[in-house]
Chain A
Amino acid sequence: MEYVFKAENISFSYYTLQGEQNVLKDISFGIKQGEFVSIAGPSGCGKSTMLSIMAGLIKPQNGKTKTKDGLKTGYMLQQDYLFEWRSVFSNALLGAEIKGTITEETKEYAKSLFEKYGLTEFMYKKPSALSGGMRQRAALIRTLVPKPDILLLDEPFSALDYQNRLNVSREISSIIKKENKTAVMVTHDISEAISVSDRVIVFSKIPAVIKNEFEIDMPYDSLRRDNPKFTKYFNEIWKELQ
């Protein structure tokens, strides 16, 4: 299968007056078309830094990223960050607005997403009128409107409480599957990674190297957490993280 994204020998350091902190060390991996990959690792291991590099927000000091020509990335942050001074709909159009590409077509596309994911009646409300899960869906729509080829998710559910988290992560991941998007998700929650991904890449503590990779060989459905393989994967990944 064709790779849409490749990281080759990526190294990254933060520099401060107190000294240099090497967070990523010689990281290489590839992402295939349509794949859902999770990057798991301990807190502060540079997973988010890796995602920022993939999004082109920062440049690695060493190594390079290779992408398919004209690849568009979409980024989802830890919280929804919907702007309270805009309606939910106008929040969703933010990307198009910045790119100066608001047309009737984009508006229609955004509306169709709202309809598909059950938010039509909240479109012209303020974000504060929405529940946590609804806000997360709205944030996903905002990411989807510019039609990205690859979605980068930075612990997108970590701001939600446990109950919501299970539902929302199921919801969001099934939307991503339905839209047939390639996705890379960063998380420190092993069970979350296993329940939504095709593949889990495990990062070590900093300076992070890739410790191991796991192909998750389970049918993608809401029953994954009940599959006996789930526990097996969980234990294996958990061991890697120790």
Chain B
Amino acid sequence: MNDSSFNQREFIRKIRLRKRTVLFFQCAILVLFFALWQFCADMGIIDSFIFSSPKEILFCAYSMIFTNSLIFHTFVTSAETVAGFLISTLLGTGIAVILWQSSFLNEIFQPYLVVLNSVPKTALAPIIIVWVGNNINSIIVVALLTSVVVSILNILSAFNETDKNMIKLIYTLGGNKKDVLFKVVLPANIPAVMNTLKVNTGLSFIGTIIGEMLVAKYGLGYLIIYGSQIFRLDMVMMSVIILAILSTVLYKGIVILENKIVSKVM
């Protein structure tokens, strides 16, 4: 495309300019926000004991990396979350397969799924902790619980919306229900399962943090609760910021994985 016209180049140039401008404002807002925060704290407009300040947060992070194994806390939270959404997606797909292959079972369990879906799963966290124990397993179970029901519902509805004619094709070639499952329903719904995985990362984070707040000795949820109890707001704010970065990284990672897998199979 060396001989692209002037108008074409102009068009590309405008789009690039627009992209750069947007990025500039996005960065500017972030910088301005922290600068304003720091300025207000320095001038005594806000009480930095309650609101902390970017400088204190950075200093807190710097000191905790060496003395309080901040990286370990972050790792624990990530591991629990990843375990939560992976198990939840696998379990959700498995249960969806069972309900898909028997519309009778599906009909029976529909109301239970609907009720379980609307129950705030965080309310179950204390029960899980009593049952499973005061350890990392109960946190993973809580993380799993927050997303598994919605996974089942999403994947099942995707399964049930599989093109009827693709299914008919399998029967015309002499296939049975098992062939329909493995040759059509599962491969056709890889994008839907990947999408569920994406939704589950966010939900699983909620479960992990709730669990950590209730029982853990490690993790960012623990740091948030601990920090607020001893009035170390810098520790709380730092944990929240790390959590924001962590969830974004994880989400983006899943999106990249999704694009790779979906472009390969679709």
Please determine whether B172 and A75 come into contact, CB atoms closer than 8 angstroms. yes
Overall SS of chain B's interface: helix
Which A residues lie within 8 Å of B105 (CB)? none
Given contacts A83-B184, A85-B187, A98-B179, contact A77 B165 (CB under 8 A): yes
In the bound complex, how far is the Cα of B113 from the Cα of A187, in angstroms?
Answer: 44
Known contacts A79-B165, A94-B173; 14 further A-B pairs (Cβ under 8 A):
A74-B172, A75-B169, A75-B172, A81-B163, A81-B165, A81-B166, A83-B166, A85-B265, A94-B170, A95-B173, A98-B170, A98-B173, A98-B174, A146-B174
Q: Which residue of chain A is the closest to B178 with respect to CB atoms?
A: A98
Closest CB in chain A relative to B261 CB, distance in Å: 11
- Residue B183, interface by CB 8 Å: yes
Other-chain contact of B172, A55, A79, A83, A99 (Cβ < 8 Å): A55
Closest CB in chain A relative to B255 CB, distance in Å: 20
Please determine whether B172 and A77 come into contact, CB atoms closer than 8 angstroms. yes
Please list the residues of chain B having a beta carbon within 8 angstroms of any beta carbon in chain A: 163, 165-166, 168-175, 179, 183-184, 187-188, 190, 265-266
Mark each residue of chain A from 69 to 94: 1 if its CB lies under 8 Å from any CB of chain B, else 0.
Answer: 00001110111010111000000001
Please determine whether A81 and B179 come into contact, CB atoms closer than 8 angstroms. no
User: Chain A contact residues (Cβ within 8 angstroms of B): what range?
Assistant: 10 to 19
Q: How many A-B residue pairs have C-beta atoms within 8 angstroms? Tell me.
A: 48
Closest CB in chain A relative to B52 CB, distance in Å: 51
Other-chain contact of B171, A57, A79, A81, A99 (Cβ < 8 Å): A57
Given contacts A81-B163, A85-B187, A85-B265, contact A57 B173 (CB under 8 A): no
Please determine whether A98 and B168 come into contact, CB atoms closer than 8 angstroms. no
Q: Which residue of chain B is the closest to A57 with respect to CB atoms?
A: B171
Closest CB in chain A relative to B89 CB, distance in Å: 19
Mark each residue of chain A from 42 to 63: 1 if its CB lies under 8 Å from any CB of chain B, else 0.
Answer: 0000000000000101000000
Please determine whether B172 and A85 come into contact, CB atoms closer than 8 angstroms. no
Other-chain contact of A95, B163, B166, B168, B174 (Cβ < 8 Å): B174
Q: Which chain A residues in 185-240 approach chain B with CB under 8 Å? A: none
In the bound complex, how far is the Cα of B174 from the Cα of A75, in angstroms?
Answer: 10
Which B residues lie within 8 Å of A73 (CB)? 172
In the bound complex, how far is the Cα of B169 from the Cα of A75, in angstroms?
Answer: 8
Which A residues lie within 8 Å of B172 (CB)? 55, 57, 73-75, 77
Q: Which residue of chain A is the closest to B180 with respect to CB atoms?
A: A98
Closest CB in chain A relative to B178 CB, distance in Å: 10
Q: Which residue of chain B is the closest to A94 with respect to CB atoms?
A: B173
In the bound complex, how far is the Cα of B128 from the Cα of A149, in angstroms?
Answer: 61
Residue among A73, A77, A81, A84 having the largest count of chain B Cβ atoms under 10 Å = A81
